[in-house]
Structure 1
Amino acid sequence: MTSREPALAAPAEPIGRRIERHFDALLEARGYRADTAQRTAIVQLGQWLESFLGGKSGWLRRLPAGIYLWGGVGRGKSFVMDAFFAAAPVAAKRRVHFHAFLQELQERMREFAGQPDPLALAAKALAGEARLLCFDEFHVHDIGDAVLLGRLLKVLVEEGVGLVCTSNYDPDGLCPNPLYRERFKPAIALIEKRFLVLQLDAGEDYRLRRGDQETWGRYCWPQSGFAEGWIEARLGLGAAAERDAVVSVNHHPLRLLAMGGESAWLDFDELCRRPHSSADFLWLCRRFRQLAISNVPCLGEEAIDVQQRMVNLIDIAYDAGTELLLASQASLDDLCRGKPHMDFSRTRSRLQQLRPVRPGEPTDC
Structure 2
Amino acid sequence: MIQSSSSGGLALALERHASQRLLLPDQSLDASQRQALEAMAEWLEAALMPHRGWRRRPPAGIYLWGSVGRGKSLLMDALFEVAPVTSKRRVHFHGFLQELQQRSLSYSGQADPLALVARDIAGQAKLLCFDEFHVHDIGDATLLGRLIRYLLEAGVLLVLTSNYAPAALCPNPLHHQRFKPFIRLIEQRLRILELDSPTDYRTVAPRDWGLYCWSDSPGPHPLIDAQFAGALPGVLQLDRFCLASFRQREQGVWFRFSELFERPTSTRDYLELCSRFADLAVSEIPALSGLSLDVQQRFLNFVDIAYDAGARLWLSSEVSLAALCQGAVQQDFSRTCSRLAQLRQVGPEFQPTLG
Give the 3 Å change call, closer, same or farther, for CA 60–320 of structure 1 in structure 2: same
Does residue 173 of structure 2 align to residue 184 of structure 1? no
Does residue 44 of structure 2 align to residue 55 of structure 1? no
Match of 1:295 in 2: 284
Give the 3 Å change call, closer, same or farther, for CA 183–12 of structure 1 in structure 2: closer
**Deviation per CA, 1:103-134, whole angstroms, max 9, x where unpaired?**
01111111111211111101110111001111
Structure 2 residue runs of 5 or longer lacking an equivalent are none
Paired with 2:84 and 2:342, the residues of 1 have a C-alpha distance of 33
Q: 1:233 aligns with which of 206, 226, 229?
A: 226
1:13-162 to structure 2, matched below 5 A, reads 14-27=9-22, 30-56=25-51, 61-162=56-157
- Deviation of 1:227 after TM superposition, in Å, equals 6.6
Residue 300 of structure 1 aligns to a residue in which SS?
helix
Give the 3 Å change call, closer, same or farther, for CA 144–57 of structure 1 in structure 2: farther
Paired with 2:243 and 2:310, the residues of 1 have a C-alpha distance of 22
1:182-221 to structure 2, matched below 5 A, reads 182-209=177-204, 212-221=205-214
- Deviation of 1:309 after TM superposition, in Å, equals 0.8
1:260-299 to structure 2, matched below 5 A, reads 260-299=249-288
Q: 1:347 aligns with which of 321, 330, 336?
A: 336
Is residue 300–residue 341 contact of structure 1 (8 Å, CA) maintained in 2?
no
Is residue 130–residue 158 contact of structure 2 (8 Å, CA) maintained in 1?
yes
Give the 3 Å change call, closer, same or farther, for CA 152–256 of structure 1 in structure 2: same
Residue 243 of structure 2 aligns to a residue in which SS?
strand
TM-score (norm 1): 0.89
- Deviation of 1:50 after TM superposition, in Å, equals 1.1
- Deviation of 1:301 after TM superposition, in Å, equals 2.5
- Deviation of 1:145 after TM superposition, in Å, equals 0.6
**Deviation per CA, 1:65-116, whole angstroms, max 9, x where unpaired?**
1000000011111111112211112111111100000101111111111211
**Deviation per CA, 1:228-270, whole angstroms, max 9, x where unpaired?**
76534223x41xx341x22221132222111111100001111
Is residue 215–residue 221 contact of structure 2 (8 Å, CA) maintained in 1?
no
Give the 3 Å change call, closer, same or farther, for CA 214–186 of structure 1 in structure 2: same
Paired with 2:352 and 2:221, the residues of 1 have a C-alpha distance of 16
Give the 3 Å change call, closer, same or farther, for CA 311–339 of structure 1 in structure 2: closer
Counterpart residue type for residue 234 of structure 1: Q
Residue 122 of structure 1 aligns to a residue in which SS?
helix
TM-score (norm 2): 0.92
Rg larger for? 1
Is residue 207–residue 342 contact of structure 2 (8 Å, CA) maintained in 1?
yes
- Deviation of 1:17 after TM superposition, in Å, equals 3.4
Give the 3 Å change call, closer, same or farther, for CA 225–277 of structure 1 in structure 2: closer
Paired with 1:233 and 1:291, the residues of 2 have a C-alpha distance of 14
1:238-257 to structure 2, matched below 5 A, reads 238=230, 241-243=231-233, 245-257=234-246
Q: 2:217 aligns with which of 219, 224, 227?
A: 224
Does residue 308 of structure 2 align to residue 319 of structure 1? yes
Residue 324 of structure 1 aligns to a residue in which SS?
strand
CA RMSD of aligned residues (A): 2.2
- Deviation of 1:35 after TM superposition, in Å, equals 1.2
Give the 3 Å change call, closer, same or farther, for CA 314–227 of structure 1 in structure 2: closer
Is residue 218–residue 355 contact of structure 1 (8 Å, CA) maintained in 2?
yes
Aligned length: 349
